[in-house]
Amino acid sequence: MHIDFARRASHTGCMAYTVQQAKTHLSRLLKEAEEGQDVVIARGKKPAVRLVLVEEQPVRRKRVLGQYAGQVQYPDDFFKPLETDQELREFGFDILVDGNEPGEPPV
C-alpha cells in the first residue's frame, strides 16, 4: 500500500501514501498520526503534506464578574470631565479644542 519513497524513509519511521490511498484509508492514517507515526501523503512520487497530531489547547477559565473588586484604586477626580483646552490636548482630544466638533476639520 505504501509508495516507493516510503522504503527510503522507513528508517525515520515515516509512512508515505498516495492521495488515492489516503482517501481510501483516511481513518487508519489518522490513527497512525495519533499514535505518533509520521504520515506523509504524496502526489505521484513527490511528498505533498504531512499529517500531524494537533496538540490539545488548554481549557480557558470562565471570567468571573467582580473578581478584581476592591483591588483597583483610582483618585476621586478620575471621572471628572476634561475642562480646559490643555487637558484635552494632553489626552489626545485635540479635535475638540476651540469648539471643534467630531468629524469637522480643525479651524
Q: How far is CA 19 from the centre of its chain?
A: 29
Max intra-chain CA distance, the chain:
79
Q: What is the mean pLDDT of residues 24-45?
A: 92
Per-residue pLDDT, 99: 59
**Is 33 domain-assigned?**
yes
**Is 60 domain-assigned?**
no
Q: What is the CATH number of the domain that holds 14?
A: 3.40.1620.10
| Torsion angle in degrees (nearest 10) through CA of 11, 12, 13, 15 | -100
**Is 18 domain-assigned?**
yes
State the residue for C-alpha cell 469648539.
Answer: 99
Percent of the chain with pLDDT over 70: 79
Name the residue range of residue 29's domain.
5-51
Which grid coordinates are listed for 67?
473578581
pLDDT band at 5 (very low <50, low <70, confident <90, very high): very low
Pairing relationship of beta strands 38-43 and 46-51 according to DSSP bridges: antiparallel
Question: Which stretch, 3-7, 55-59, 94-98, has highest mean pLDDT?
Answer: 55-59
Q: What is the mean pLDDT of residues 52-56?
A: 85
Structural domain total, the chain: 1
Per-residue pLDDT, 9: 47
Statement: residue 13 has pLDDT above 50: yes
**Arithmetic mean of pLDDT over the chain:** 80
Q: Is pTM beyond 0.75 here? A: no
Q: Residue 16 and residue 29: Cα distance in Å, rounded?
A: 10
